[in-house]
Structure 1
Amino acid sequence: MPTLTKLYTMQEAAQHNTKEDCWVVIDGKVYDVSPYLDEHPGGDDVLLATTGKDATDEFEDAGHSKTARELMENFCVGELEETPSPAIPELEIVSKNQTKDISQKLVNLTRQYWVVPVALVGMSVVTGFLYLRRK
């Protein structure tokens, strides 16, 4: 008879974050490593630091042996419940007519407000001329 696998959310696994009750999530599986904390070669702080998040990358980066991977199975308490990925917003497709409208509006704005940059340049030239004349 197949064993039923218990499903946990990341929030549930994250609640087990003390030295007496420590769970980690690796490759979608949830492990209760509380009894192994004192024996862990990397120290208990390494395991405690990985609670509340997916520790797969940290586990792989540490280069664990085949024996360590086999030992892990003794601590498996279930699997991580798959949560649906957030919906990706659809991009708005802009037609050529809309692009022309936007560019036309931009051209109209520059025609309407051309006085401001010209006035700034003019004032800069006059100020520079007066400054040089005083010397």
Structure 2
Amino acid sequence: MATLSKLYSMREAAEHNTREDCWVVIDGKVYDVTSYLDEHPGGDDVLLSAAGRDSTADFEEAGHSKDARELMKAYCVGELDPDHAVIPELEVFRKDQSSGFTNKLKNITFEYWAATAVIGIAVVAGILYSRKS
């Protein structure tokens, strides 16, 4: 097996996390699986969920065959640079996803104001009703 000359940091690999540009890292090797998405027997969603991160554990848990391991070689684009293989834990946002936090905040804000409006209307209706009596 020839030595791969291209070294990537985990940060570089993590940038490739979309359907149009999908890389996975398995056992210290970097694979560009973009062209394989439609052919993957487990479906493209499996590879997309593994995109841009070290997916060694997921790959091993799936119990891939010898043939699958052999097929992977065609998609290998390099190796992780051992000096930059690990990045600190952080929340990674995909290029094509909006912030879940922002959406939750919008929903909470809407619910808060909706509840406040309902309570306000009930109080005003109660006051008006009591004045008529």
Shorter-chain TM-score: which interval?
0.5 to 0.7
Normalised TM-score (structure 1) = 0.58
The match for 1:70 is 70
Deviation for aligned residue 1:36: 0.4
Q: Distance in 2 between matches of 1:52 and 1:38?
A: 18
Unaligned runs of 5+ in 2: 87-133
Percent identity over the alignment is 69
The total of aligned residue pairs comes to: 85
Query: In the aligned structure 2, how far is the partner of 1:6 from the partner of 1:47?
Result: 22
2:11 is aligned with 1:36: no
Task: Compute the TM-score of the two structures, normalised by the length of structure 2.
Answer: 0.59
Q: Give the greater-gyration-radius structure (CA).
A: 1
Q: Does 1:48 align with 2:48?
A: yes
1:24-44: CA deviation from partner (whole Å, max 9, x where unpaired): 000000000001000001111
Within 5 Å, which residues of 2 pair with 1:110-129? none
Q: Which amino acid aligns with 2:70?
A: E
Deviation at 1:64, TM superposition (A): 0.3
Q: 1:40 aligns to what SS in structure 2? A: coil
Q: Deviations over 1:76-115 (max 9, x none)?
A: 00001113799xxxxxxxxxxxxxxxxxxxxxxxxxxxxx
Tell me which residue corresponds to 2:93.
none
The correspondence of residues 1-135 of structure 1 with structure 2, limited to 5 A, is 4-83=4-83
RMSD over aligned Cα, in angstroms? 2.0
Offset at residue 45 of structure 1 (A): 1.0
Unaligned runs of 5+ in 1: 87-135
SS in structure 2 at match of 1:83: helix
